[in-house]
Amino acid sequence: MTDNIITLPVKEAPLVQTDAIATLQASLGVESGRDVVERAVFEISDRLCRLELALHDEDWKTVGKTAAGLVCMSTQIGLLVFAEVASALANTIANQDDVAATALAWRLLRVGEASLFCAVEQADRSG
């Protein structure tokens, strides 16, 4: 039976729209822009933690609400792939497809970690 198993790569490149971070830093100043990005990264990280706990509890309502909230916040600091996956997760939960939602939730957690590191790195480089 294991001969039919296909292994898919789980590595996915994060995408950070550098213009969003540069615009924040241009309008607020380099230090204040960096602070905004760091606070957003902290908040997104906290929400990802809550999403993972809700996922373990199979609390789909909380997972869906958390994913929907992550879309707006991540878009504001230029985390495009992350925002797309969060949006897809929220939509999948609204359509009550638990199997696809589980896969998307784990994908969101993987993409989230890489995206958050990239956002902080980009904010540091811009200054």
In a domain, 38, yes or no: yes
Whether 39 is covered by a domain: the verdict is: yes
Q: What CATH number is given to the structural domain containing 85?
A: 1.20.120
Q: Please give the full DSSP string across the chain, using - where no structure is assigned.
A: -GGG--PPP------B-HHHHHHHHHHH-HHHHHHHHHHHHHHHHHHHHHHHHHHHTT-HHHHHHHHHHHHHHHHHTTBHHHHHHHHHHHHHHHTT-HHHHHHHHHHHHHHHHHHHHHHHHHHHHH-
Quick: pLDDT tens for 62-115: 999 999 999 999 999 999 999 999 999 999 999 999 999 999 999 999 999 889
Domain enclosing residue 101, as ranges? 15-126
| Within a domain: 8 | no
Express each pLDDT in 27-38 by its tens digit.
999 999 899 999
Query: What is the tally of structural domains in the chain?
Result: 1
Q: Is residue 7 part of a domain?
A: no
* 95 within a domain of the structure (yes/no): yes
Residue 87 within any structural domain of the chain: yes
Give pTM, 2 decimals.
0.84
Is 5 a member of any domain?
Answer: no
Q: Is residue 19 part of a domain?
A: yes
